[in-house]
Structure 1
Amino acid sequence: MRSSQTAAASSLALLASLGVANAEGVLNIFNWGEYTNPDLIVKFEQTYDVKVTITDFDSNDTALAKARQGGNDFDIVVPTSTFVQIWIDEGLLLETRPDQMENFKNMDQRWIDVPFDPGRHYTVPWQWGTTGVIVNKAVYAGDPNTSAIFLDPPEELVGKINVIPEMQDVMYLTVKYMGGTACTDDKDILRKVRDKLVEAKPKWVAMDYTSIEKYTADDYAAGTNWSGAVFRVRLADPRFVYGYPKEGYPIWMDNVAVLKSAPNVENAKLFQNFIMDPENAALISAYARYGNGIMGSEAFMSEDMKTAPEIVVPVEFLERGEFTQACPPEVNEMYTKIWTDILK
């Protein structure tokens, strides 16, 4: 973890009235690994004379546990939509009122009145995407648009599958595959879900947050993954395709929030406003290859971003996707018990 210093920054009132403010000091960002465009950070540093440090996390659970422990100097955190309400309910986030910032006018209406932060009082979009499957078509030429790829894998893929260790994503895909609904508390369905995951796991080679190299080097031939991650794999190796499970797949959004314990609050607010600028939002997408939720950003994107099947959902699969919300605590408790069994 990098150290930090106390920031001296312009007030939010100045930011709101002028749009561009001069600032000094530092900004400490706690974000997913391989998810932050260095060009975006350089631009922010040069615009506001703020030194940015970035610390990576590998899962929502890791980020939340770290914040609960305290004793850190993080200003910004980037939780997924299914976790934002937990952060708010536990008093970990500062109500920064992005809806009153100058660049809020650029936010796509679709992403304003979201259930996890109605009206956007705490968060601004970072990126959004879907969770599906990745398949090496040179290894398996069948239909990639099914969760059977990792739950009932064809012989060609057995022993070559990686499953991302994200409980919410994997549980959602499996529940839908077994005929259930999101956040179901149906014990019969959940028993089937557990049994299916226990049955499938020996056919996987790993449960890991993978790099592009693991696929291009043929360590893995298939698995569960996020749409932008698969986009990046495909750019490096066109043998790979992204599949939208016909049984159902989750749509999610990662969001930039400011920690209540942030030592550099005004710089953090500057950053929230900064990434709602279309040109800056396009920089975010250009690096990690996801949509961003900011209107007008398409004008600054490359052509491959505008046509990528990992971003532009095929018409036949549009209605199969569902924007996932946080499950009730009692459901999460049941999911966690199943997940603990799978991780053994």
Structure 2
Amino acid sequence: MTKFDRAGASGLRALACSTALSLAALVAGASMAGAAELNVYNWGEYINPEVLKKFEEETQIKVNLSTYSSNEEMLAKIQGGATGYDVVFPSVHMQDIMAKLDLLEKTDINTYEGFKNIDPAFLRAKSDPKGEYCLPYAWGSVGIFYNRTILGKDITGWKDLIETVKAKGLKFTLLDDMREVLAVGLMLNGHKINSTDPAELQQAADTIIAMKPDVAAFTYDTRPMVQSGDVAAGHFFVGAMVDVFGNEKDLGYVIPEEGATMYQEDACVLKSAPNKENAIKFLQFYTRPEIVALNVSQQTNGTANVPARELTPEKIKNSKEINPPAETMARLQIFEDLGPALRQLDRVWTKVKTAQ
């Protein structure tokens, strides 16, 4: 081999080595980039962007936020093979369903020091009574958001609203949500919201069908419709208090005297999460009272984090709608996983939606 050949071979080996090192660096960089991400899948507009920004600043973990509009949409996407999501926020009954399907990772968040801030009354998931999997995130009631200028009065509940809109020729909206709407019919007839009794469900459906001439739409787009006066009121979540605080002269929110549902979402890590360590870091981050208070101040939901309640703005802290007294809490009911019996609700819901 000539001097030139040896030099050429040496150069090729050096180039190959350099290329290999570059590729290794790229792979390592890609791996580090992957490790420095968190993919959050939450309800639309259900987290203060400032919370995510603070998490990114403190941890150098990039947060990617995707949203859904219902528990069922979220579950269908994950069961349908969607990958890449790390943290999800199911309602309590959906958490129980996901636990049965073995979709949730055990995080041991209850062993983290910040978990002492959580009110044990909010460990509502039957599948997770100790908080070994998920962290209570937010809760609230589902009541009536109304325009008192259009109605000409404050209202006390469903019967009062229905009588008022009928007398004045006005309209209101109901949520496009099977369980929430049927729950209204059940409560108006004195039944529990988790009833699967066929006669009680039919009675609830008949009650809602009787309302339909006064119902403008089954929709989640309630807030702008009530604010503009296009409808007098709407079936909606307590998060509408953000609008009430902005215009207390015209707007109101009431937990109906007949009773109401309450929701609670928990922050859970998926078993399929590609960034489990980062996801657990986020759960730990969200036990901090000042972080929770930052979220609540924008979301106007209730929180299970006891110290955080004292850090929220006075209007929120003192709001009987956001933080109801004990006698009002006694009128609130939370959904449970109904299992196969859910098909009975599907049937009566179809009747409600198709009735003329």
What is the deviation of 1:211? 5.8
Q: How does 1:228-307 map to 2 (within 5 A)?
A: 228=239, 230-238=240-248, 239-307=250-318
Give TM-score scaled by structure 1 length: 0.87
Q: How does 1:110-121 map to 2 (within 5 A)?
A: 110-112=121-123, 114-121=125-132
What is the deviation of 1:183? 1.7
Identical positions, percent: 27
Q: How does 1:138-287 map to 2 (within 5 A)?
A: 138-141=149-152, 144-148=155-159, 154-155=165-166, 160-210=171-221, 212-228=223-239, 230-238=240-248, 239-287=250-298
Q: In 1, Cα distance between the equivalents of 2:127 and 2:238?
A: 22
Structure 1 unmatched runs, 5+: 10-22
- Are residue 334 (structure 1) and residue 344 (structure 2) matched? yes
Q: In 2, Cα distance between the equivalents of 1:63 and 1:149?
A: 35
- Are residue 47 (structure 1) and residue 58 (structure 2) matched? yes
Q: In 2, Cα distance between the equivalents of 1:191 and 1:299?
A: 44
What is the deviation of 1:337? 1.4
Please state whether the residue corresponding to 2:136 is helix, strand or coil.
strand
**Cα contact 2:99–2:127 (8 A) shared by 1:** no
1:126 corresponds to which of 137, 147, 163:
137
Please state whether the residue corresponding to 1:67 is helix, strand or coil.
helix
- Are residue 63 (structure 1) and residue 63 (structure 2) matched? no
Q: Which has the larger radius of gyration?
A: 2
Q: What letter is aligned with 1:183?
A: N
What is the deviation of 1:69? 0.7
Q: Structure 1's 63 and 247: CA in aligned 2 closer, same or farther, altered over 3 A?
A: same
Equivalent position of 1:17 in the other structure = none
Q: Considering only aligned residues, what root-mean-square deviation do their CA atoms show, in Å?
A: 2.3
Deviations 1:247-275 (A, max 9, x none): 22122211100111111111000001110
Q: What letter is aligned with 1:166?
A: D
Q: In 2, Cα distance between the equivalents of 1:281 and 1:120?
A: 18
Structure 2 unmatched runs, 5+: 1-28
Deviations 1:98-121 (A, max 9, x none): 112231121112223653521012
1:99 corresponds to which of 110, 124, 127:
110
Please state whether the residue corresponding to 2:218 is helix, strand or coil.
coil
- Structure 1 runs of 4+ aligned residues shifted over 4 Å read 5-9, 149-153, 156-159
Give TM-score scaled by structure 2 length: 0.84
2:324 corresponds to which of 305, 310, 313:
313
**145-154 or 182-191: bigger deviation:** 145-154
Please state whether the residue corresponding to 2:234 is helix, strand or coil.
strand
Please state whether the residue corresponding to 1:154 is helix, strand or coil.
helix
Please state whether the residue corresponding to 2:306 is helix, strand or coil.
coil
Instruction: Give the paired residue count.
Output: 325
**Cα contact 1:111–1:293 (8 A) shared by 2:** yes
Equivalent position of 2:13 in the other structure = none
Q: What letter is aligned with 1:332?
A: L
What is the deviation of 1:141? 4.0
**Cα contact 2:182–2:201 (8 A) shared by 1:** no
Q: In 2, Cα distance between the equivalents of 1:252 and 1:267?
A: 27
